[in-house]
Structure 1
Amino acid sequence: MKIAFSPCPNDTFVFHAWVHGLVSGAPKLDVTYADIDITNKLAADGSGPDVMKISYAALPWVLSEYALVPCGGALGRGCGPLVLTRGSEAATQGPAVLSDKRVAVPSERSTAYLLFRLWAAEQVPGGVGEIVVMPFHEIMPAVSDGAIDAGLVIHEARFTYPNYGLTMLADMGSWWESDTGLPIPLGAIIARRSLDVEAIARWTRESVEYAWAHPEASMHYVLHHAQEMNPDVAKAHIDLYVNDFTADLGEAGFAAVEALLGRAAKAGLVPEVNFAALRR
């Protein structure tokens, strides 16, 4: 079975057991490690593999072909994308500092960017200037070097941005949680509707449970693929993004996804979603 997910610690931790043949009865995986911007595009144009990790924000374009797998993804609290700027002076000016500025984002269809657009519509007078799409690991160096005025970051950047001399201007997750009371839906696992999605969900859940039961077993694999090789950073990343919602999206998880996509559709940022299709 062909699968694509990011090389980030949460994804490699989740799928380590399945990739290494430790999930009973699960088919062998042919893995492509790809940035979220790439998998979002593969899903949208129909050329993607059987199973993929994509942004929840990209779901409205692919639900006719792909089903949401209700486990294995990234959804939680205190784990939202951050808007970063150089130095503390810009951050003290608040969101208005982004007016007419160049902002780097990890994908035009990322959940991070969707949250940012919803937030900026309320918080940035006149709106931001140019949006530049970059692989997420290039964003902090670009902000630090002055090539970009601000950057929207995800993944382990939450833990490492001070190393680049950067300051947090806003936390999209804190804004979302305070505004809605719901967790933040970030990355989704999807599978082609022609496949046995229930079986894929079962194998994914078993892979997650194996990872929790044997946390050290995956560390070499995780660090081999991670952008940040510090084991403490990788563990912090996993602890934040792999949680109860990873094992089972549940009603709270579905409510969060429906709230995000419903609000985005109302704002004209994504197509209208048939919420029944989210649950197959």
Structure 2
Amino acid sequence: MNEALKTAYSPCPNDTFVFHAWAHGLVPGAPALDVTFADVDITNGMAERGEFDVLKVSYAVLPWVLDEYALLPCGGALGRGCGPLVLTSSPGTAADLRGGRIAVPSERSTAYLLFRLWAAAEVPEGVGEVVVLPFNEIMPAVRDGKVDAGLVIHEARFTYGEYGLHCLADMGEHWERTTGLPIPLGAIIAKRSLGAERLRGLAAAARASVRMAWETPEASRGYVLAHAQEMDPAVADQHIGLYVNEFTADLGADGYAAVRGLLTRAAAEGLVPPLPEGALRLD
């Protein structure tokens, strides 16, 4: 019998919702998972070090890990109207960020790439210092004046008003308006050393787990809320509704185009290494 696959994903509601059935042995024929919870900046580092078999990572880290890992065509997070936000303590414009101090959750995140692409167009003079903070510390830092602005992700889309903050710009809105593509956020990757047949089986397991979550959403509710870091259940539902969609079941042509588009544009700006032709496809 094969050993459980070492797997890491975040405790965020979209990930626990997607993986619930698989992690609990409810997907027929799917391999067992040995799950570690870690935020995406941690899982990105795990992928770069080749530490786990299956990981949820930022699409932004793919150019550094695709030699060792394959992208699964399902289970990840893309969408529309779900991009990262730049928040400030008072209303303003992009020009206000010239030379400013900006907090971001990671420099190896999709959010950061989207921010840098936006800033290249909207703040050509350049922002100032970029400070990396855990995502849950960013809004307090903006509120308390420790930074001039913060790039936020996850449920902060729904809660920033509670901190008295203002949305200066929506990175996803800029991306969608300039490309017409969905916003690529998080990807599921697996070790290429598992072999092509097993990788296809993992993709099938991820897809089945997503569909089971949709068919019986109440089954995963306890698991989701237990790991949601004291998140209000209504916010957790909003989170799932925003980040788990048709692209989670299958990337499809638009999903692949979005990922290629992001990484191609980021490479042109010198933010990531160029992506080899065909590197995104499982087969």
Calculate the TM-score normalised by the size of structure 2: 0.95
1:34-113 to structure 2, matched below 5 A, reads: 34-46=38-50, 48-88=51-91, 91=92, 94-113=93-112
Amino acid at match of 1:80: G
Amino acid at match of 1:36: V
**Could you give the per-residue CA deviations for residues 186-212 of structure 1, whole angstroms, max 9, x where no partner exists?**
000000001121111001111101100
In 2, Cα distance between the equivalents of 1:82 and 1:229?
19
**Could you give the per-residue CA deviations for residues 144-163 of structure 1, whole angstroms, max 9, x where no partner exists?**
12112111011111001100
Q: 2:132 — aligned with what?
A: 133
Q: CA deviation at 1:99?
A: 1.0
1:204 to 199, 206, 209: 206
Most deviating of 126-135 and 162-171:
126-135
In 2, Cα distance between the equivalents of 1:114 and 1:229?
27
2:32 to 21, 28, 31: 28
Most deviating of 190-199 and 119-128:
119-128
The question of whether the paired residues in 2 share the 8 Å contact of 1:156 and 1:228 is answered with no
The question of whether the paired residues in 2 share the 8 Å contact of 1:258 and 1:275 is answered with no
Q: CA deviation at 1:227?
A: 2.9
Amino acid at match of 1:227: Q
The question of whether the paired residues in 2 share the 8 Å contact of 1:72 and 1:208 is answered with yes
1:279 to 258, 278, 281: 281
Amino acid at match of 2:147: I
Structure 1: runs of 5+ lacking an equivalent: none
The question of whether the paired residues in 2 share the 8 Å contact of 1:209 and 1:247 is answered with yes
Q: Find the residue that maps to 1:216 and give its secondary structure.
A: helix
1:149-160 to structure 2, matched below 5 A, reads: 149-160=148-159
Q: CA deviation at 1:87?
A: 2.6
Calculate the TM-score normalised by the size of structure 1: 0.96
Amino acid at match of 1:270: V
In 2, Cα distance between the equivalents of 1:28 and 1:17?
11
The question of whether the paired residues in 2 share the 8 Å contact of 1:176 and 1:182 is answered with yes
In 1, Cα distance between the equivalents of 2:131 and 2:265?
24
- Pair 1:16-2:15 in alignment: no
Most deviating of 17-26 and 243-252:
17-26
Q: 2:223 — aligned with what?
A: 221
- Superposed CA RMSD in Å reads 1.0
**Structure 1 residue runs of 4+, over 4 Å off?**
none
In 1, Cα distance between the equivalents of 2:153 and 2:239?
10
Q: CA deviation at 1:219?
A: 1.2
Q: Aligned residues: percent identity?
A: 69
The question of whether the paired residues in 2 share the 8 Å contact of 1:55 and 1:109 is answered with yes
Structure 2: runs of 5+ lacking an equivalent: none
Q: Find the residue that maps to 1:129 and give its secondary structure.
A: coil
Amino acid at match of 1:212: W
